[in-house]
Amino acid sequence: MSFDGKKTIVLGLGNDILCDDAIGIKVVQNLSQTEKQCENVDFKQTCEMGLALLDYIVGYDSLIIIDSIKTGKALPGTVSEVDIDNVTSAGITSPHFLGVRETIELGKKLGLKVPETIHIFVIEVEDPYTVSENLSETLQKQLDNIVKSIKEKLWGLVNYV
Using one digit for the tens of pLDDT, what is the confidence trace for 82-123? 988 766 534 445 544 446 888 898 899 999 999 999 999 999
CB 4 within 8 A of CB 158: yes
CA separation for the pair 120, 64 (Å, rounded): 6
Q: What is the pLDDT of residue 99?
A: 67
The predicted-structure confidence for 62-87, as pLDDT tens digits, reads as follows 999 999 999 999 999 999 999 887 66
- In the chain, the number of structural domains is 1
DSSP 3-state of 72: coil
Give the list of residues 6+ apart from residue 38 with CB closer than 8 angstroms, or none. Answer: 1, 2
User: What's the mean pLDDT when you consider all of the chain?
Assistant: 86
Note down the domain range covering 99.
3-157
Q: Say which CATH number the domain at 95 has.
A: 3.40.50.1450
| 18 DSSP 8-state letter | B
Amino acid at the residue 159: N
Global pTM? Answer: 0.87
The band of 147, judged by pLDDT with boundaries at 50, 70 and 90, is very high
